[in-house]
A and B are shown apart, each in its own frame.
Chain A
Amino acid sequence: MAKALEYRDVSFSYGEESAFRMEHLNFSVEEGEFVAVLGHNGSGKSTLARLANGLLVPDGGEVAVFGTTVTQKNLFDIRRQVGIVFQNPDSQAVASIVEDDVAFGAENVGLPREEIGERIEFALRAVGMEEYRTATVSRLSGGQKQRVAIAGVLALRPKIMILDESTAMLDPRGRREIVEVVKELNKREGITVLLITHFMEEALLCSRAVVMNRGEIVMQDTPEGIFRRGEELVTYNLALPRIGEICNRLRAGGMEVPYTLGVDALAEEIAKCVS
């Protein structure tokens, strides 16, 4: 079966002057996966996202979505399948009213009116914003704005959704809202999710995490596996999630807690060691 998303030998640069290079990158995502992409600013995470739906075109190699290579000719079909939610909650909405904005993508692909109405309803319900259908976008909180942005992408019924640092500008509550919504979409709708972030804690919810550095994928593992290699993470300008740091310190102090990343799990282990 074809992979949901596959980068085959992809090379890319932003022109001669730019220091950034992506060379012969190979990477794939299975249908239904929930993958976290970690990396410091400028590591190539966003480039990876934009290559997936043809916003950027590789200099060499190819990107395939469910087996179909992305070309200039099939952009429209590819973008219906691969939705991207971006970083800034204030610069993605086209319309001032929530439902008008959610409708935008569905209007672009020429769906009939009744169906657009149904899709708005579906999308807003999926992100828990059905009560805000006629609200003004600029009056919503950051987290709500990003949920509207997700709904706008969902209205196209994509099979893959990429969140390109969509939580970076939100407060903790907003971040939680977004991650929960996305987790739910992955579980209930079976949408393949690529969560690009530099909040290590968010990666803990994913089934797989990859770490990027200088346009390369340098680590791939389960989140636990990644964080067990904390020192390596630091060399890629990333930091261990705080809970990992506590584990390390406890172990250094002679308390043999296994490497755990959940608060309850760690408390359980500590309690076991002490009693």
Chain B
Amino acid sequence: MLKDVSFGQYYPVKSFVHNLDPRLKILFLIGYIVAIFLAKELLALGVAAAVLLLAVLFAHIPFGKVLRAVRGVLFLVLFTAVLNLFFHGGDAVYWDAPAVLWEWKIFRVTQAGIMFSVFLILRLFLLVICSSLLTYTTTPVSLTDGIESLLTPLKWIRFPVHELALIMSIALRFIPILMDETERIMNAQKARGAMLDSGGPAKRVKAIVPVLIPLLLSAFRRADELGDAMDARCYSGGKNRTKYKKLHFSWRDLFALVLLAALIAGIVVMRFFPVFPL
């Protein structure tokens, strides 16, 4: 039953963060990413991390869940960090003295390199935590609503905002169904002796055909049926269409916005007037 692992990992509890306007949460994520990449000293990143910690607390998401999101990218992050550690030549962009600590052939570890790697790890972790916080606290539906609303200005250049949003929401709606379907078809073929998880690459590609074809056929069939059902309910594009759900910007959102603004402002200030220059 794959469908029980809901897509986007929405974590269904009630909280301050869950109730925020999705648009704001998307903006927050973008702003936050900008902020952590602007930050050039540990204190600034520390403040950013504290803000995020606060957000996680307010979201009532268990820390285990948050850490699990980090675990998913752990290897990738560490790998990049190690590469940087050895190969970051110490061309001091941020730091003045490229003090070489250890050198062997092409490998060179510098103080700057260490700092760079540490920053990289912290930034990527904060980024991952912040974006998973968005998907943990926002249903796919309101996420699409938020994106649609934020993209609305693009209607002026005839960008099909409504269609895009509808496609996204239908895709989200059908992901659990198709995942279920995939599992069913895989089971049926396994019962007929298909070896779906062994053999070399060529064999595996061949083995996937009996799953892929029925899956595609079923997706097309569903698309047909959905099209009819939409037509039967008077769908005719975004023109003259009203929207039942309106996004509301409330005092909570204002609070979060102020917090974000303060964070970015603080980090920018610290960038030019470092508190603990290295």
Contacts and interface: CB of A to CB of B under 8 A. Distances in A.
Given A88-B222, A96-B172, A156-B234, A110 B141 contact: no
Which residue among B172, B230, B232, B245 has the maximum number of chain A CB atoms within 10 Å of its CB? B232
A190 interface: no
Given A86-B225, A138-B176, A138-B177, A55 B231 contact: yes
Nearest to A112: B242
Interface stretch (A14-22, A57-65, A75-83, A257-265): A75-83
B232 A91 contact: no
A215 interface: no
Contact of A84 (B170, B176, B232): B232
Interface in B224-246: 225-226, 228-236, 240-246
Interface string A104-137: 1111111111001100100000000000000011
Contacts of A109: 234
A235 to B, nearest CB: 31
Interface residues of B, number: 32
Given A55-B228, A100-B141, A110-B242, A76 B169 contact: no
B139 interface: yes
A80 B234 CA distance: 7
Interface string A87-110: 110111111110110011111111
Interface residues of A, number: 42
Contacts of A103: 244-245
A94 B241 contact: no
* Chief secondary structure at chain B's binding surface: helix
A222 B225 CA distance: 32
Contact of A94 (B226, B234, B246): B226
Contacts of A90: 177, 222
A239 interface: no
A48 interface: no
Given A105-B233, A110-B241, A91 B226 contact: yes
A153 B234 CA distance: 10
Nearest to B230: A94
A79 B233 contact: yes
Given A53-B232, A104-B235, A108-B236, A96 B173 contact: yes
B248 interface: no
A72 B170 CA distance: 27
Contact of B234 (A50, A99, A108, A120): A108
16 contacts: A76-B234, A86-B228, A87-B225, A88-B225, A91-B221, A92-B225, A92-B229, A93-B173, A96-B139, A97-B139, A107-B244, A108-B236, A110-B242, A113-B243, A138-B173, A156-B234
Q: Which 5 A-B pairs have the closest CB atoms?
A: A105-B233, A103-B244, A91-B225, A92-B229, A91-B222
Interface of B: 3, 6, 139-141, 166, 169-170, 172-173, 176-177, 221-222, 225-226, 228-236, 240-246
